[in-house]
Structure 1
Amino acid sequence: MKVVLFGATGMVGQGILRECLLAPDVEQVLAVVRSPTGQRHEKLREVLHQDFLDYGAIEASLQGYDTCFFCLGVSSAGMDEQAYSKVTYDVTLAAAGVLLRLNPTMTFIFVSGAGTDGTEKGRVMWARVKGRAENALLRMPFRAAYMFRPAFIQPLHGIVSRTRLYRALYAVLGPLYPVLKRLAPRFVTTTEAVGLAMLEAARSGAPKQVLENDDINALAARVAR
């Protein structure tokens, strides 16, 4: 498997990158990043790129891949709908369009979030925008497309969120993870489980195109080490 990864320096991206580098069937990972990941591995290649709406300068580097893990995203805090849509919808669809043209048999996996509004009509701005991005991706003729909607994600293996708000949240809730897992197992997962589930969906498919948190955990359990 040859993988293109967006968002490799984010919390979820770090998790899937770790699992890709550990997986024997992943031959190569191309991380498209604004700044280096700081990691070194024989499987890992990095392409530094700044304009995530225009990929003309790096198209040659994006050919020959069969899977994309799209983990790029930002918190909607303090953003209006237009600004958030540019990052969440426009950037995602720009990347997906180029990758589909260059790799028409690709599987595309998009990390969305629990509470995403597939109707695109709800009151919560971020949920509408995420839903619009999901629906647009599902209409594209990829070999397969999966939307991942994790809820609370516990970072493992030294992974840390780059978002200050999330770091504060995990500092408070992290020690409570065993309790949350026992009381509300459908709504908690880990960076490792999300990474394993994404790989399994790319390898063998998933039972549905939109996977909620409990679906992600079930998929990860098929391959958990």
Structure 2
Amino acid sequence: MKVLIFGATGMVGQGVLRECLRAPDVEAVQTIGRTRSGQLDPRLTEVIQPDLFDYSALENQLTGFDACFFCLGISSAGMTEADYSHLTHDLTLTAARTLARLNPRMTFIYVSGAGTDSTERGRSMWARVKGRTENALRQLPFAAVYLFRPGAIEPLHGIRSKTRAYRLFYTFAKPILPILRALLPNYVLSTEDIGLAMLEAVRHGAPQAVLETAGIRALSRTAAPPALDLRAG
């Protein structure tokens, strides 16, 4: 399969990229973002796009993909609803509408978050915006749309968040996250779990369009283990 990744330098995106490059059935991976991931692999192409609201000059590089893993996201802390909506809903839909037109047989997977509000009427601003984004994505003419709603995430394999506050949190939480994931497997995922589940959803579909933590974990457990790749680390 040929995979397109948005947000490959974020914590979730790093994990997804790693699993894509380890999967023997992924023949090509292309990332879209403002910075490079730093990964080296003959199957990887990285496209630097400063303006994530305009893909008109890139359309010839956005065709022929089987899947898009959209892992871009920002914190809503300190933001107005209008600003957060612009950088979450509008940014996502700009890319998704372009891709749906160019790749109608594509599977599109969007990383949302636990607590997302599908009614769009709840008290939590970020949850309303995420819910509106999810609902809009489900209306686009993709072959399939899956909405991943992870809660707590354990970064593995040296992966780190780009956000300073999150890095501090994971520094202090690192000793207990593996324990929590073992004791509460339906509440804590790893970056590896998310990447494996995304690939499995493209290969064989998923039981439902909206996947909470338990559903993501279950899907990741059905994925065949990748062949040994000494480059993966």
Give the structure-1-normalised TM-score.
0.98
Counterpart in 2 of 1:137? 137
Shift of 1:224: 5.6
User: Helix, strand or coil for the counterpart of 1:108?
Assistant: strand
User: Helix, strand or coil for the counterpart of 2:170?
Assistant: helix
Instruction: Describe how 1:168-187 pairs up with structure 2 within 5 A.
Output: 168-187=168-187
Letter in 1 for 2:13: G
Shift of 1:79: 1.0
Letter in 1 for 2:128: R
Residues 157, 182 of structure 1: alpha-carbon distance in 2 compared, 3 angstrom cutoff:
closer
Aligned residues: 225
Shift of 1:181: 2.2
Instruction: Describe how 1:49-198 pairs up with structure 2 within 5 A.
Output: 49-198=49-198
Deviates more, 1:130-139 or 1:162-171: 162-171
Shift of 1:185: 2.2
Counterpart in 2 of 1:205? 205
Shift of 1:211: 0.0
Counterpart in 2 of 1:42? 42
Shift of 1:169: 1.4
What is the distance in 2 between the residues matched to 1:49 and 1:182? 39
Question: Any idea what the Cα deviations from partners look like across 1:32-62, whole Å, max 9, x if unmatched?
Answer: 0111111110110011101111100111110
Letter in 2 for 1:47: V
What is the distance in 1 between the residues matched to 2:180 and 2:122? 27
The percent identity for this pair of structures is: 60
**Structure 1 residue ranges, 4+ long, deviating more than 2 angstroms after superposition:** 181-185
Shift of 1:186: 1.4
Contact 2:27 2:43 in 1 (8 A): yes
Question: Any idea what the Cα deviations from partners look like across 1:104-162, whole Å, max 9, x if unmatched?
Answer: 11110000010111111110111100000000001112100000000100000000000
Residues 224, 11 of structure 1: alpha-carbon distance in 2 compared, 3 angstrom cutoff:
farther
Residues 182, 39 of structure 1: alpha-carbon distance in 2 compared, 3 angstrom cutoff:
closer
Unmatched 5+ residue regions in structure 2? 226-233
What is the distance in 1 between the residues matched to 2:184 and 2:218? 15
Contact 2:181 2:188 in 1 (8 A): yes
Contact 2:154 2:178 in 1 (8 A): no
Deviates more, 1:148-157 or 1:170-179: 170-179
Give the structure-2-normalised TM-score.
0.94
Letter in 1 for 2:174: G
Aligned alpha-carbon RMSD (Å): 1.0
Counterpart in 2 of 1:215? 215
